[in-house]
Amino acid sequence: MPDNWTVEGGTLDAYEMGNGNVKGDNGDVTIKAVLQPSVGLTSGTYTVTATRVDSGSGGVQLRTNAPVTWSGATNQNGHTQDFAWSPAINQISSFTFTVGITPITELTVNTGNGGHIISSITIVED
């Protein structure tokens, strides 16, 4: 399990977790990070970088606890705080978002299905 993240739904695949990856066991898995308000993502622009190491199609999802404005998003699931992306296999995909008035204090990542394997996700302020 990544540091400071907890399982919010589903079950992690123990083998993949042992390899440092996030994958659901017989279905999707959702993990969640709760940030202290003093270290939450405040107004500004951030870049999300993700790597998947599976060969499946479809996206994984990052959800924030408050609305953000995505830049470069091609598939937004109809909600301003949701974004699904399908990075190329063994490739890195990056997108940016801008935080509005409400700081982001919770991040949730869902694998989308049991075949998607996330090897890394980073979020940095631009």
Location of structure tokens 């049991």: 114
| pLDDT tens per residue across span 44-87 | 999 988 888 887 777 788 888 888 888 766 545 434 445 566 66
| pLDDT tens per residue across span 33-42 | 998 877 789 8
Task: Return the CATH number at 101.
Answer: 2.60.120.260
**Would you state the pLDDT for residue 83?**
55
pTM attached to this predicted model: 0.84
Number of domains in the chain: 1
**Would you state the pLDDT for residue 17?**
93
How buried is 24 (Cβ within 10 angstroms: 0-12 exposed, 13-18 middle, 19+ buried)? buried
- What is the extent of the structural domain holding 85? 5-125
